[in-house]
Amino acid sequence: MPDASASNHYNALKAQIGELLAEGRRQAAKSVNTILVQTYWRIGHHIVEFEQQGQDRAEYGVALIDRLACDLTLHCLDN
């Protein structure tokens, strides 16, 4: 029969490892989200730069966004 002290010690170890895994997952998700936000901001910056072509303002056309959306999806890449 297992010793109660050994069982409690094991349960504490298991809980600590579970907390470490959960914290690691939270930190990984936060890092990924930060990188994605930065990436999307940079994409938007590139689109604005392209549309403005050095001007202070741009005449935004839906055609550019629609074309990019199509070209960057797998459905359109197959065509």
> What does the DSSP 8-state code read for residue 55?
S
Res 58: pLDDT: 67
Q: Is the pTM of this model over 0.85?
A: no
In a structure prediction context, what are the per-residue pLDDT tens digits for the chain, which is 79 residues long?
568 888 999 999 999 999 999 999 999 999 999 999 999 999 999 988 888 887 777 666 668 888 888 888 876 656 5
Domain containing 17 equals 4-77
| Torsion (CA) 26, 32, 36, 39 in degrees, nearest 10 | 140
What total number of domains does the chain contain?
1
* pLDDT, tens digit, 9 for 90 and up, residues 5-15: 889 999 999 99
Res 6: pLDDT: 87
> By the 8 A CB rule, do 32 and 38 touch?
no
Tokens standing for 46?
Answer: 């590139």
* Type of residue found at 10: Y
